[in-house]
Amino acid sequence: MPVEKNTLKHFERLTQNLSFMSMRTRHVSAHFSDLAVHPEVCIEHIWVNQMVARATVPMMQEVVRVAKTMPNDPISAPLIKYITKHIAEETDHELWYANDLELLGISKEKMYARIPPPNVAALVGSQYYWLQHHHPVAFMGYIACLEVYHPTIAYVDDLIKKSGLPAKGFSTIMEHAEIDAHHSQDIIETLNALPLTEEQYQMVEMSAFQTFRYVALVMEDVCKVAPVLENKQQHEQENEQKDKQQNA
């Protein structure tokens, strides 16, 4: 029997195939939102965002560099065009986060002296491996996960209200909630327009899968900053839920 050709657009296919992973990330984000009453949890969240932002522009510059070594690949030119535009859009965001953290009491010296957690390093580092040792199109799965599924303005407002922290300390997260709605449409349109081979699509999907996985792990680490009692209660609730499922 002939194999049916997939008629879904790339982003539609990605969304359909990874729905279970995005659900896990949303579940962890909901738990984080519950813990936002603890200011230290929100500060940690902003801090890990700053760590990730440190690598964003350098990684995109590497995407462009590697793509330029593949002039005969049909996706190189549109990929370079989009990423070059997005570099300009993302420049200095790391510094924006750093300024927010200073407002929240974290000095730049302390900020940059801290070793980034393993899950942050794995989130970013896996992308460097794929773009340097396989194909730079992998980055499209990473950025689709991070910017299409962005926080909403209402979500950020809720964090500010719950934490009691100064709203100015959330200015960069709020900025992303506002501008990523536009960025997400650019990403979707660019991804759908790329003349991906099936192997290249699979690379994008694997990258997005990996990104969702590590975003969930990073957010779980953020939640662990909550007071010990809060985490103990959460652990007990999870064990109770597991017992119920096993006895069902």
Pairwise CA distance, residues 151 & 146, whole Å: 10
Buried/exposed 217-247: b ≥16 CB within 10 Å, e otherwise: bbbeebbebbeeebeeebeeeeeeeeeeeee
- pLDDT confidence bin for 19, thresholds 50/70/90: confident
Pairwise CA distance, residues 116 & 198, whole Å: 35
Whether the predicted pLDDT of 5 surpasses 80: no
Buried/exposed 110-142: b ≥16 CB within 10 Å, e otherwise: ebeeeebbebbebbbebbbebbeeebbbbbbbb
Mean pLDDT of the 190-203 span: 95
Pairwise CA distance, residues 191 & 186, whole Å: 8
For position 147, what pLDDT does the model report? Answer: 87
Mean pLDDT of the 167-178 span: 94
Q: What is the percent of the chain where pLDDT is above 70?
A: 88
pTM confidence score:
0.85
Whether the predicted pLDDT of 229 surpasses 60: no
